[in-house]
Amino acid sequence: MKNIIHWLIALSLLLTACAAEDQPRPNGEMTAVVKRVVDGDTFEIASGEKVRMIGVDTPETVKPNHPVEPYGKEASNFSKKLLTGQTVTLKFDVEPRDRYGRLLAYVYMADGTFVNEKLVRDGYARIMTIPPNVAYADLFLEAERDAREHNRGLWGLSDSRNPSKEGKNAEENNEAKQAESAQETPPPGKPIKGNINAKGEKIYHVPGSPNYERTKAEVWFATEEEAKAAGFRPPKR
């Protein structure tokens, strides 16, 4: 009887240890089955948790009170076809969850395909770098430049559907829109705005600087040192 009890205790400890190893932790990884795809950059796994892919931002399709953005359906359909029902590896960076409780991960297919990078390189997503999860920021930036140069996906849309390809006059008209969207409230303790321009240059703006109010923040930083560490530079003027 004692042997059986000892065996059950050992089995219980082993199962607990195995379960702990498959939990999200900084710089760790876990395997999961994709239950359904929410949109281009977000999906739900078999456990019921939602996963937001790090470093990428596909056009909106399901945001409440927000219209479907150009190339949003294409990005969503691509992710659904690629990921639904697949067993994937989720690799975490410094912060494994966002403020909404979603898992933040780099996603790999069984054949080694790096899904985050593929979305950017094939033109289904723009880059969105949010410290401290910046391990592949340079790779994503290079992938976006490649997609732009070859007019892939959303970069190949006509000017009327893709604001990023509009001419000088349209860009000037968009400044008002950018100024309006730039009024969003910064995260607590992170007042510095990081922006990536059309040339792929990563520039940060501190409160009070000439272009601060009109700049749309793609990334927020607490200090200039943090911005520089992420590869951003101050404006030239």
60 is catalytic: yes
Q: What's residue 180's pLDDT?
A: 40
What is residue 77's predicted lDDT score, i.e. its pLDDT? 96
Which pLDDT score, from 0 to 100, does residue 166 have? 44
Which regions of the chain are under pLDDT 70? 1-22, 158-184, 198
- Nearest Cα neighbor of 60 from 75, 72, 71 is 72
* 218 labelled catalytic: no
User: Which among 102, 152, 166, 213 is annotated as catalytic?
Assistant: 102
Catalytic residue among 49, 52, 142, 218: 52
What are the phi and psi torsion angles at 30 (to 5°)? -155, 160
End-to-end CA separation in angstroms for the chain: 80
pLDDT score of 6:
56
Beta bridge partners of 126: 57
Strand partners, 97: 103
Peptide bond into 132 cis (omega under 30): yes
Active site residue 148: no
What is the number of H-type helices and E-type strands within the chain?
6, 10
